[in-house]
Structure formats: C-alpha cells, structure tokens
Copies of this chain bind each other. A is one copy, B any other.
Amino acid sequence: MTALTDNEQVEQANTTFYEAMERGDLDSLSGLWLESTGDEISCVHPGWPVLTGRGDVLRSYALIMANTEYIQFFLTDVTVSVSADTALVTCTENILSGGPAEESGELGPLVGQLVVATNVFRRTPEGWKLWAHHGSPVLTETDDEPDDETAA
C-alpha cells in the first residue's frame, strides 16, 4: 500500500468534508474542523457574514442541516496547494439541494446552485483539519449557466 502524498491527503480531507454535509452527519463534520486552541476557526456560508469559533460555526451547520432535506455536491476545478503544515484548497461546488416540502414526508423542489469555495486546512496528529471555509455564490457568466448578471 502506497502512502498518500500531502496533496492527496488534503484532497481526501476536502472530499470527506462535503460527504459529511451530504449525509447530514454533524458529528462527523465537527470532527473535521480544527479543535481551537487559541487559533479560532472561521466559516462563511454563501451570502452570510463571518462566523468565528467552533460554537457559532457548528451551530450554523446544525441549522443548515435541519433545513436541508437533500444536498449533493459535484466538485469541479479542485486545486490543492500545500505549504508546510497548511494547505489551501479552492473548488467549485456544483450544488443540487432541496428543503423539506410543505407536506411532511415529501421533498421540496430541487435547486441548483453554483458556489466557489476557499478551504484552508491545518496538519494535525489526527490528520488534516479545517481552519477556514469560505463559500460564495458565482454571479458572473459561465459557459454552463448563462446569466444576465455580471460582477462589477
């Protein structure tokens, strides 16, 4: 069995992060974030202000998961850059999601969303852990999704 390179380990940690979101697995997700010991984690969901510290960040995920019946991430343009014990990942999150329908037990309409993310990881004895996540909506034109909006 060949050991994974740093870049491969980081890409795996990044994939695991999105898989925990897809499963709505808050426990697993909590374990992927850095345990703060002075260095606070930070998180920006698309359109949200900055959240700092494990308390606020994990509560936000609990809230999002409670309002998300279904979510799937198709990651594209994944780039990984590692420097010593820090890694920078950028990727495009092609998201398909749906909230609970008005009628209980049914799934609401599915919505597609294009989000770009910058994820910063730190190397720890327990593997690469998230230090920061910043996701934002893409409003510019792309080949996939023609749109009248343009960024300034």
Contacts and interface: CB of A to CB of B under 8 A. Distances in A.
A82 B40 CA distance: 10
A92 interface: yes
Count of chain copies? 2
Contacts of A102: none
Interface in A71-123: 77, 79, 81-86, 88, 90-92, 99, 116, 118, 120, 122
A132 B90 contact: yes
Contact of A137 (B88, B91, B120, B136): B136
Interface in A118-152: 118, 120, 122, 131-132, 134-140, 142, 149, 151-152
B92 A50 contact: yes
Nearest to A140: B48
A109 to B, nearest CB: 13
